[in-house]
Amino acid sequence: MKRIVILASGNGSNFEAIVKTARKEKWPVEIVSLITDNPHAYAIKRAKRLRIPCKLLNYKEFDSKDSYNKELFKILKEFSPDLIVLAGYMRILPPYIVRAFRWRIVNIHPALLPAFRGLHAIERAYKAGCKVTGVTVHFVDEGVDTGPIIAQRCIEIREGESLEHLERRIHRVEHKLYPTVIKKLLFGDE
């Protein structure tokens, strides 16, 4: 049994897609926990519904970023995951966590990296007038959205398409791509 831990700060739709795909395809995997920094994250409700344990590390209850990250590190080590999956986790992991789990942390980003790193990537690509954007899954390194790219999908931005419509299409692609990549990383092509 492989062990994965998923970190999410918000909606959690990628978290749910991973859980559902793993169950449907009967991966030999234990989704050990969802970890969230945000007590208002909708991902918490999804975790309850999906019966996945949820660890809330309320960022605002820590007196510093440092103490928050130290606690996060402690918990991650206790969970001893084969893979740490960032799914809309909106904080930067400190270098010592990245180093401790090198090649075992992945992230999904809603743009074709290295374009549009950082926040609001879908909106920035849309407003820049791009004809093509996409989705990237990459290993996490010490930078922000800079780690080695594992997989990408292109998505054309249609003439006259609304931002909301594009967002929905991007999320649909994410929900297929992320589980596919995670499965391959955990189990290869078997």
Q: How many residues bind ligand GAR (CB under 6 A)?
A: 16
Residues between 113 and 172 that touch ligand GAR (CB under 6 A): 121, 145, 171
CA-based torsion, 112, 116, 117, 118: positive or negative:
negative
Give the x-and-dash track for 14-53 against ligand GAR (CB under 6 A): xx--------------------------------------
Binding of ligand GAR by 11 (CB under 6 A): yes
- Pick the piece of the chain touching ligand GAR (CB under 6 A) from 11-19, 27-35, 52-60, 92-100: 11-19
Active-site residue, selected from the candidate residues 40, 109, 138, 175: 109
Residues 6 or more apart whose Cβ sits within 8 Å of residue 6: 15, 18, 31, 33, 34, 35, 84, 85, 87
Residue from 3, 10, 75, 151 in contact with ligand GAR (CB under 6 A): 10
Q: Are 157 and 133 in contact (CB under 8 A)?
A: yes
Residues 6 or more apart whose Cβ sits within 8 Å of residue 81: 3, 4, 5, 32, 101, 104
SS3 (DSSP) at 130: coil
> Which tokens hold the place of 134?
């996409």
- Pick the piece of the chain touching ligand GAR (CB under 6 A) from 8-16, 45-53, 59-67, 75-83: 8-16
Binding of ligand GAR by 87 (CB under 6 A): yes
Residue from 4, 7, 12, 133 in contact with ligand GAR (CB under 6 A): 12
Q: Are 69 and 59 in contact (CB under 8 A)?
A: no
- Pick the piece of the chain touching ligand GAR (CB under 6 A) from 9-17, 21-29, 44-52, 179-187: 9-17
Distance CA 113, CA 150 (A): 11
Q: Which residue is nearest to ligand GAR, using beta carbons?
A: 88
Residue from 7, 8, 22, 76 in contact with ligand GAR (CB under 6 A): 8
Residue 171 a catalytic site member:
no
Strand extents, DSSP E, the chain: 2-7, 29-36, 54-56, 83-86, 105-109, 132-139, 149-156
Q: Are 44 and 34 in contact (CB under 8 A)?
A: yes
Catalytic positions are 109
Binding residues for ligand GAR, per CB under 6 A?
8, 10-15, 87-88, 108-110, 121, 145, 171, 174
